[in-house]
A and B are shown apart, each in its own frame.
Chain A
Amino acid sequence: MFASSWLILLFPLLGFIGLSWYGSRISRNLVGLLGSGAVGASFFMTLVTLSNLMFLPPEERVGQVQTLYQWVSAGSFELNLAILIDPLSVFMFLIVTGVGFVIHIYSIGYMHDDPEYSRFFAYLNLFIFSMLVLVAAADFFFLIVGWALVGLASYLLIGFWREKPSAVLAARKAFVMNVIGDVGMVIAALVIFEHFGTLNFIDVFAAAPDKFRPNDDAMLLITLLLLVGAFAKSAQLPMHTWLPDAMEGPTPVSALIHAATMVTAGVYLVARCHVLYELAPVTMYLIAGVGGITAIFAGSMALVQNDIKRVIAYSTMSQLGYMFLAMGIGVYSLGMFHLMTHAFFKALLFMAAGSVIHSLDGEQDLRNMGGLKKVMPLTHATFLIGALALAGFPLTSGFFSKEAIILSSYHAEMGNIVFWAIAVLTAGMTAFYIFRVYFYTFSGELRSPDAHPHESPMIMVTPLLVLSTLALLGGFLGPWVDSFLGPVFGHIAEHPHDNALESIALLAGIGGIATAALLYMVSKERLALFKEAMAPVYDLLLHKYYVDEIYDYLIVRPTKAIGLFLEQKAERDGVDYVVDQVGLQVREVSHVISLWQSGKVRTYALNMIVGVVTILLFVVFM
């Protein structure tokens, strides 16, 4: 029934292979068509799979494993090339291929003048394929394969403009951070195999509740190691530094990878392994705590950044914090719901920002923008919708998902008032910073006189319109998401309506918008005064809490010093010497031996006779 689901993975793979082999030889239009078409076909197959799944009764929807063939069978260990079809994976398929498809179309316009057009689309298809492998994996092995492939694709795409040193550095940073996470994942998989004897999701999750009591050491170890991977991929504290730098990549990449899909892999991992995490409540609290702290930490940094993409990047971190908070307090389907709405409005914001950057010829500094409302009406409208959704304005998609998480952070079994306070405070900040960007960009007068902004071409605007529709109305999918994911997570307990809490959360968002409007629209003098008063805090925030500098002093520099020492002493005088000596001695000895090979037939014959005599000596006298 789900055998055709393999096609979901096949199309982007074929697209990647085809474009990387023939991409430079076919026309640009065809490249764009193939690249987008592959993902579009994949999206179509996802819809087919979804409809197949919906025909099944809910209790049969989980655990549909499609095995292509058995790859390894060693004793009790089995490794199959298999995908797992259940509501969670299909949900992720929908987001990855759907949002991915829209962003591919957008890229046709955005990257139109790039000389390496086909390479870009090949990488994008590779990314989609990798992400689908990650999401479709039926065991930890292929999860790690997808995890690493996604890291690779991200590295390639961040460093796509390879002539830009900052892009290459950012790509390297992202890759190193991600590999730290990969190591955690691999060790986690090994520990799982040691305890369960299998890597298969279904077997592990079925065996876990009988095998372990809550907070067993092994369970804590496994969940924490998995969490290293999840935090690295999803840019949670303290491994968040790569995400803002990753904005060096082209904007569609930021929208696709660093907002909508890849960074949510960590959330997906926790959701997929929720059986394990429920056996480790301590880890759950850690997730909720880190998620909350990341949310407020990243939100505060976003308040003062001047690069339009960086603000949105920090906002992504902050929203991911929300998702982890939801995971940590056990309302998984709400986390996944927020993942979905966030994918809509964050991709929308990034692409709208990309449209702005595109029309200003690469200008990313907020302070040089302004007044674009008149020249770019469609971009303006879609950005506004995205901003409202992000800020949680009533009846937009962000409102439903965020509000639900905020309320759950108090009402849920593991929630408490601290989580709630953090969430509400972050909601206020979110509304403030995104409208700060909005007012900077679209209202007032253009602050760089020599720019000639223009509305983007239709191929870029149409995806914006599609996504803005989703961002506006996606919130009404909430009940459906809850019931669809129900077979995987179980349903969330209804909690009592609490008007006070609800209205405070609502007011936080609207208050943030109002403050931004007050400071950036109405009165510039008040803004200056405000900046004056808050100078130390402003400085701290602008330098991102000096985390990069702290890492530099604590980790990078000592490592460099040790490396220098090792290079000069251990490497040159130790290892190199030994290696050189091995080579030299072998050369000496072989020089001596090579004298035997004189090329003289008679000498060879004599040697042969010596050998025969020796052998006969043994035969006769032994």
Chain B
Amino acid sequence: MGQEFVLLISASVFCVGTAGFIIRKNPLIMFMSVELMLNSVNFLLVTYSSFLNSLDGQIFALFIMTVAAAEVVVGLAIILTIFRTRQDMDVDHIDVLKG
């Protein structure tokens, strides 16, 4: 399978993730959407590293995974704390920072 297919898959997953992030109201699922977006980019990096016969892409993907893991852990803890204090899981209700 050629590069176009890889690009198409990656772009599709990325856009699905974007759509999920905008549409869904559950912060957990929004987080999952973010993971989708990160994964799509990871996928692109790994495949292109294979196409170009260079390991830089894979190293980059590895770091992205590290950062994503840290981000997920902190993000989930924040969500947990918000839920504990507000008893509410709708991000639209968390708008105390508006002007």
Contacts and interface: CB of A to CB of B under 8 A. Distances in A.
Nearest to B23: A602
Interface string A339-368: 000000000000000000000000000000
A599 B98 CA distance: 4
Nearest to B25: A602
Nearest to B24: A602
A600 interface: yes
A229 B72 CA distance: 75
B18 A597 contact: no
Interface residues of B, number: 14
A166 B10 CA distance: 86
A605 B27 CA distance: 13
B18 A600 contact: no
Interface in A587-616: 594, 597-602, 605-606, 609
Interface stretch (B1-9, B46-54, B56-64, B89-97): B89-97
B43 interface: no
A600 B95 contact: yes
B92 A609 contact: no
B92 A602 contact: yes
Contacts of B99: 594, 597, 599
B91 A602 contact: yes
Contacts of A609: 18, 22
Interface residues of A, number: 10
A599 B91 contact: no
Nearest to A594: B99
Contacts of A597: 98-99
A594 B98 CA distance: 9
Interface string A569-603: 00000000000000000000000001001111110
Contacts of B97: 599
A609 B99 CA distance: 21
Interface in B22-56: 22-23, 25, 30
Contacts of B98: 597-600
A232 B96 CA distance: 63
Contacts of A594: 99
Contacts of B21: 602, 605
Nearest to B95: A599
A600 B92 contact: yes
Nearest to B19: A609
A599 B96 CA distance: 6
A597 B97 CA distance: 9
Nearest to B92: A600
A594 B97 CA distance: 12
B10 to A, nearest CB: 15
Nearest to A596: B99
A503 to B, nearest CB: 91
A598 B94 CA distance: 10
Contacts of A605: 21-22
Nearest to A598: B98
A601 B25 CA distance: 10
Contacts of B96: 599
Contacts of A599: 94-99
Nearest to B91: A601
Contacts of A601: 30, 91, 94
Contacts of B94: 599, 601
A602 B97 CA distance: 13
Most B CB contacts (10 A, CB to CB) among A597, A599, A606, A609 go to: A599
Contacts of A606: 22
A544 B27 CA distance: 87
Nearest to B97: A599
A401 to B, nearest CB: 76
A597 B98 CA distance: 6
A198 to B, nearest CB: 55
A282 B87 CA distance: 92
B95 to A, nearest CB: 3
Nearest to A606: B22
Contacts of B25: 602
Nearest to B99: A597
B91 A600 contact: yes
A137 B99 CA distance: 56
Interface string B74-88: 000000000000000
B52 to A, nearest CB: 22
Contacts of A600: 91-92, 95, 98
Contacts of B18: 609
Contacts of B95: 598-600
A599 B91 CA distance: 10
Contacts of B30: 601
A33 B18 CA distance: 79
A282 B94 CA distance: 83
B14 to A, nearest CB: 11
A457 B71 CA distance: 84
Contacts of A602: 21-23, 25, 91-92
Contacts of A598: 95, 98
A601 to B, nearest CB: 5
A135 B36 CA distance: 79
Nearest to B15: A609
Contacts of B91: 600-602
A591 to B, nearest CB: 10
A382 B79 CA distance: 91
A443 to B, nearest CB: 83
A600 B94 CA distance: 7
A225 B10 CA distance: 80
Most B CB contacts (10 A, CB to CB) among A594, A597, A605 go to: A605
A178 B94 CA distance: 63
A275 to B, nearest CB: 66
A600 B92 CA distance: 5
Interface in A454-500: none
20 contacts: A594-B99, A597-B98, A597-B99, A598-B98, A599-B94, A599-B96, A599-B97, A599-B98, A599-B99, A600-B91, A600-B98, A601-B91, A601-B94, A602-B21, A602-B22, A602-B25, A605-B22, A606-B22, A609-B18, A609-B22
Interface of A: 594, 597-602, 605-606, 609
Given A605-B21, A605-B22, A609-B18, 18 more contacts: A597-B98, A597-B99, A598-B98, A599-B94, A599-B95, A599-B96, A599-B97, A599-B98, A599-B99, A600-B92, A600-B98, A601-B30, A601-B94, A602-B21, A602-B22, A602-B25, A606-B22, A609-B22
The 9 closest A-B pairs by CB, nearest first: A599-B98, A599-B95, A597-B99, A594-B99, A599-B97, A601-B91, A606-B22, A605-B22, A600-B95
